[in-house]
Structure 1
Amino acid sequence: MHSEHPFSQLIPDVIIDAVESSSDQYTNYQIYPLNSYENRVYQVGMEDGPALIAKFYRPDRWSNKQILEEHTALSLLEKKGVPVAAPLAFNGQTLFEHANFRLSLTNKVIGNAPEAEDLDDLFQIGELIGETHSVLTKLPLIGRQSPSLIESIESQIKWLLASPSDVSKTQTSTLPHALQKEFITLFDSLMQMSKDVMSQSGSIQRQTIHGDCHASNLLKSITGMVLLDFDDIQTGYPCQDIWLHLTAKEHHQQQLSELIEGYESHHPFDRRSLALIDAFKLERTVRYAAWLSQRWNDPAFPKAFPWFGTQDYWLGLRKELIDLKAQWRNDTE
């Protein structure tokens, strides 16, 4: 099953041919794989110039229209001076096809990961997210219809609780039958808490956001922060791009203060959305588990996540959900 996955055909010769035919430039045949599982991303050395980053999109995930909508957003951000890694255009195109793969090319960004506990870095991250949202608020998404927060949580939970025959999952990635009842009870409780907090938070405006703005998608270059990988660009709440930069609970208020102060130097921030952070945590937790399960037939996943699907994994997820519920209750009581 694994050998038949489309990415198994992405061998070095295909990568080189794809980059050379798309850019109309020669490579120096040096390929370095970068850390990406949803897509495949490579640093490719060029004969007459700096290396390029080649991103090969996962087949059947996004349509060409949806990918080009991502490219339009990035091009607009770049035009407005927002530091992002925008796709390069060759002969007026940013999306290319080769050997049944779709790809884009960007310049390599040199930098380091921001420091999670550094308040100056958090202020700069807030500035960058605010600047990004300020531009993206003028660009509603048409081709990417994003579900609501509640719909997203419900769909991920439905996947995790489905039987292997229902969703064609492998046995390795299936929630053990012995834990099903307890997980159903946990999910029901957490879903109700999510619905309650949503109903109490008022009509918070959604807009176009990055959608996966964790620290690994940021680089601190010599000129400042750069935002990478808009593959999950979506319609959502601005706070969804902010809360991922909170670390230890005891520092949340100070960290939020820096993030929001930086953010508001470019764009207004609706503080009512902070009440949704626990619901965002739940959505990301169940989405990550469902994502691992959904991608289990990709040979990169069993290799990179050998612990997934084990009894210890599901017990760990159960504890994570119990802890989230307990903390949520402490936050709201």
Structure 2
Amino acid sequence: MLKKLLLTLLGGLLVVMVSLAAGFYGLRWYGDQPVSADRDTEFVIVSGDSLGRVVLRLSTDQLIQYPEVFEIFARIKGVAAALHAGEYLISPGITYRQLLNKFVEGDVRYYSVTLVEGSTLKELLQDLNGHPKLLSPVEPASLSAMLGQYVQGVSKADNLEGLFYADTYSFEAGTSVELILKRAHKKLQSVLTEEWGQRTEGLPYKTPYEALIMASIIEKETGVPSERPDIAGVFVRRLEKRMRLQTDPTVIYGMGDRYEGGLNRRMLRERTAYNTYVIHGLPPTPIASVGREAIRAALNPSDGKTLYFVARGDGTHHFSKTLAEHNRAVRKYQITERRKDYRSTVQQ
């Protein structure tokens, strides 16, 4: 009787052990199976989603087979409550195990947005507010309160043009425009502070903000990156000699939406806070966003004696030391030998 009972217990135990082993190897086999995606597919886990809800959507989207097994697989691994919210890219060939690890590690899909060097704040906001993966558009009126800390030399009452570093920023879907702007402003402060500490001595800037203003003018005047220090040298020497900067981009910026292309003498004589054909010194704010190279050029201009430059029409400039030489260059490149394919940037 006892022997029969022991054999029964041992038989039952063996069945349990075999079942457990089969279950273990079955789940292991399942984890190594590929998802059902036949192309790259976006999948979103919303903040607060439960494991069951995620599994249901995976099944509904026909990305997994045997959803009950996938849920058991996740619970046995102890990660049922460890799935990160975000947008994921599920590629063909990825296994269930890799998919679950992706969710646990938060390996979300990243997008990027580029704040282009030379773009105005208006253009920058249009690009950010119109990005399909960024949320919560920002209005210009809210920028001042949003930023808080500013570059030395600018107050909250000032135009915030140029206070966002031109660069490419990566982000997750659903990131706010405000967060990108704060990152761009913080990076601008960091780069400007770093470059200010490595500036050439004796420059005619009282604050880093004045250097930023100059950098924005250099950026708008530059067609060839290698010319930035040369253009900076011309403007710095003109400031030192108390000559007007006389740079077209400042006139255009001061005209705002009234500018429709092309400048005439009346526009050059119009008094605005930004018309450097009329005012002495720098305009009150930057006129565009800049990157490190324009800031570095403003703070480390080329030595020399040139005081003028004119566009050749191929994206480069002719630099002159005297007004007479400059006038001859203007006549040559703008009138007598003007290129039929005249352009302000170098053709790629």
Same fold (TM over 0.5): no
- Larger C-alpha radius of gyration, 1 or 2? 2
* TM-score calculated relative to the size of structure 2: 0.24
Which protein is richer in strand relative to its size? Answer: 1
Higher relative contact order structure (alpha carbons within 8 Å, sequence separation ≥ 6): 1
* TM-score calculated relative to the size of structure 1: 0.25
